[in-house]
Amino acid sequence: MVLVTAAMTLAGLCWGPSLLPGYAHATPDTLTWPEASAERMVPRPPDPVERFTIVAVGDLMAHMPQVTAAKTASGYDFTPCFAPVAQRISGADLAIGNFETVTAGSSSGYTGYPSFNTPDEFAQAAVGAGFDVLTNANNHILDRGAAGISRTLDTLDGLGVLHTGAARTAEEADRILVADVRGVKVAVIAYTYGMNGLSAPAGKSWMVNVIDKARMVAEVAEARSLGADLVIVSIHNGVEYQRQPSAAQKALEQSMIDAGADVVLGSHPHVIQPMTTTVAANADGTPRTAFVIHSLGNFVSNQRERYRDTGLILQFTFEKNLKTGVTTLLAVSYVPVWVDDTGASGAETRILPIGDVLADAAYPGVTGAERTRMQQAWDDTTSHLGSIETTLADAASVPFYAVPGVQ
């Protein structure tokens, strides 16, 4: 959570392949220091650092079967949906998701695809599970018009969760979201390819961040000018149901990295697409590791087809050197998740960490057929993502300094 004083370690959060194997363990206190030489060389005391974790997920959607399953005598309860993954979400210092629906209120009726309007309780359950930032730049943000945007953002404000990608005023649209994460400034910028043919009211195009490369590059630079140590760009685009990114996706993502973004999070295809790391240059020419995932897939929805029923909890560990001000990506891992649309009662929708289920033959409410599908989803995901080849700073190049007067 933002401003949390004690974070879980990445190892404690993970069930999934480590993408930067071993790197989380290369800490100053575990390195082997050479003995002092005749020049009285001694190990330099390690610089003070702040280590923090971020998790990111894909599309949070609410089709009508999910809404119906969440109905109670007094309203709606989506808490069981998020409960199996809540510890992993809330255990991070910052948790980000794409809120791909609107909460326009009950007066106009609740609906699913193709024009969403979801009970406020869906947002409440997501925030209760630990999400700190919900992005709103997606193709369904205008499903209930400008009034739907306003009420959705009012709902999120009332829940105390940060949001970006849509706005109620021009002034709000001009503000870049910079979150304080354990004293580290993290900027989150969000854009979408469009809104299913809908447009914001005349004179209010600022209500939704529609992809504009020049504006996006300028916002990355502005985020840095505001003191952001880390810049994350969420892009809602690509071709639905395609497991590989389009050339246009990759070109835009690369332009964000070239502009100075550290992480690019893709959404919209509703299936998982590959991820990669790259070495980019800082403004001063020094190298930095940047990360891109082309699509995080669905985090929760009622899309039941193979690949569409599977998503990720993507987990990052970063470290800021408090002396130099440099923030470094230390490790990335992922937790494959699968949406169970039956649950123990035969009516719930639950987001299940696949590894937990496969490791526990007695995991509650899971049938043999569902376990088989989850094994397939696990195999599909791990074979598709594999591991990331990356070049990080050379951990063996440990600087030393001579201490005057030491005999």
DSSP secondary structure of 252-303:
HHHHHHHHT-SEEEEESSSSEEEEEEEEEE-TTS-EEEEEEEEEEBEEE-S-
Q: Are 243 and 384 in contact (CB under 8 A)?
A: yes
Sheet hosting strand 287-296, strand order edge to edge: 177-181, 184-192, 230-236, 263-267, 287-296, 272-281
CB count within 10 Å of CB 282 equals: 11
Listed as own residue / partner, the contacts of 305-308 with beta carbons closer than 8 Å and 24 or more positions apart are 306/376, 306/377, 306/380, 307/241, 307/243, 307/271, 307/272, 307/380, 308/241, 308/270, 308/271
Q: Are 230 and 263 in contact (CB under 8 A)?
A: yes
Q: Are 405 and 370 in contact (CB under 8 A)?
A: no
User: How is 178-234 classified by DSSP, letter by letter?
Assistant: EEEETTEEEEEEEEES-STT--PPTT-GGGB-B--HHHHHHHHHHHHHTT-SEEEEE
Distant-in-sequence, close-in-space partners of 363: CB < 8 Å, separation ≥ 6:
356, 357
Distant-in-sequence, close-in-space partners of 243: CB < 8 Å, separation ≥ 6:
269, 271, 272, 273, 307, 384
- For each of the chain's 407 residues, which pLDDT tens digit applies? 554 322 333 333 333 444 543 333 334 444 443 454 445 567 778 889 999 999 999 999 999 999 999 999 999 999 999 999 999 999 999 999 999 999 999 998 999 999 999 999 999 999 999 999 999 999 999 999 999 999 999 999 999 999 999 999 999 999 999 999 999 999 999 999 999 999 999 999 999 999 999 999 999 999 999 999 999 999 999 999 999 999 999 999 999 999 999 999 999 999 999 999 888 887 778 888 899 999 999 999 999 999 999 999 999 999 999 999 989 888 888 999 999 986 444 457 899 999 999 999 999 999 999 999 999 999 999 999 875 433 233 222 222 222 233 22
Residue 48 CA: distances (Å) to CA of 44, 223, 279, 326, 364? 12, 24, 25, 11, 44
Q: Which of 308, 303, 293 is CA-nearest to residue 262?
A: 293
Distant-in-sequence, close-in-space partners of 113: CB < 8 Å, separation ≥ 6:
63, 64
Three-state secondary-structure class, residue 159: helix
Q: Are 50 and 318 in contact (CB under 8 A)?
A: no
Res 401: pLDDT: 23
Res 387: pLDDT: 55
Res 104: pLDDT: 97
Residue 241 CA: distances (Å) to CA of 200, 295, 308? 27, 10, 7
Res 40: pLDDT: 58
E strands present in 46-183: 49-60, 94-99, 133-135, 162-164, 177-181
CA gap 44, 274 in Å, rounded: 40
Q: What angle do CA 162, 168, 171 make, to 5 degrees?
A: 85
- Tell the residue number behind the tokens 């071993």, with chain if given: 22
Half-sphere exposure of 265 (CA within 13 A, CB side): 31
Three-state secondary-structure class, residue 385: helix
Res 216: pLDDT: 98
Res 225: pLDDT: 94
Compute the CA torsion angle 231, 234, 239, 244 (nearest 10 deg): 40
